[in-house]
Amino acid sequence: MTPYSALATFIDQLENRRILESGVLDWACPVPYFGQLSTARIATVGINPSVREFTTIGGSELTGDARRFPTKRSLELSAWGQADATHIIEVARACSQYFSANPYRRWFGVLERVLRHAGRSYFGHSPTACHIDLVPYATVERWGALAGWQRQQLLLAATNLVGQLLSASQIRVLVLNGQSVVRHFADMSNVTFTTIEPDDWRLGSGGRGWVPGIGYLGVATRIGAIRLDTPVTVIGFNHNLQSSFGVTRSAVTAIGQWLSTKSPK
């Protein structure tokens, strides 16, 4: 499956009543990947795109140079069902050029610091890293605020397409950012994890003791119903590096150093 055919399917799903009932930002395009999927050898993995990829802090649609991705308004569509090959190419271009345009650095900056320990980067002429979300749709409410059936419906709609995208890529390492991502990926794949609990990954919890840091390591050969042609090394950590309370620079460094020892060169 090519990125274009995956995007076409994800766009078609925005006309599906079950997807619309799942709390998606229905005027925003799907974002199945961020960066150069064609040159990446490693991909960080999150749950779904932030609403901040499309809106200001006040909730208004990003416009002009601040815009990161196309929307129904910018594509001059009254419904996603009107999208044709030209529109799909424009969305694909925004996905591929994300890190050379206006990336959400407050979110991706910390992951870039982790990746550089392994000699990988989102940036540059021929980037060796990209980002993939398990669900390509931004949601009006944050992921954790959605009802369980809404989260499940969105994951089910995306699982096989994510598997097909990875199978057609040269990505050989996935880096799972946070416990929810680890749990959802384990549910949608055949990975079996071994774990570690390094002391230097522990985080303070505001006077309530310590939160342990857990590292996960495994191999996936299937995502959903899709058998991967080449096994993928899966590396994860329980801390969400952008939102877990008390994440320190030293913990990020320790996680990055561990990643560098476990990811194939």
Reported as a single tens digit per residue, the pLDDT across 21-51 is 999 999 999 999 999 999 999 999 999 999 9
Query: What is the structure's pLDDT at 190?
Result: 97
The total number of structural domains that make up the chain: 1
* Residue numbers of the domain that contains 10: 3-262
pLDDT band at 207 (very low <50, low <70, confident <90, very high): low
Which residue from 178, 158, 173, 175 is spatially nearest to 224, judged by alpha carbons?
158
pLDDT higher than 80, residue 138: yes
Q: Predicted confidence band at 124 (pLDDT cuts at 50, 70, 90)?
A: confident
Q: Is the pLDDT of residue 1 over 70?
A: no
CA torsion through residues 252, 220, 8, 181, sign = negative
More confident residue, 67 or 205: 67
In this prediction the pTM is: 0.93
Check residue 205 and give its pLDDT: 64
Could you tell me which residues come within 8 angstroms of residue 119 by beta carbon, excluding any fewer than 6 positions away? Answer: 128, 260, 265
What local confidence, expressed as pLDDT, does residue 4 receive? 84
CATH number (domain holding residue 151)? 3.40.470.10
Q: How is residue 169 annotated by DSSP?
A: S
Q: How far apart are CA 240 and CA 131, in angstroms?
A: 15
CA distance 117 to 128: 13
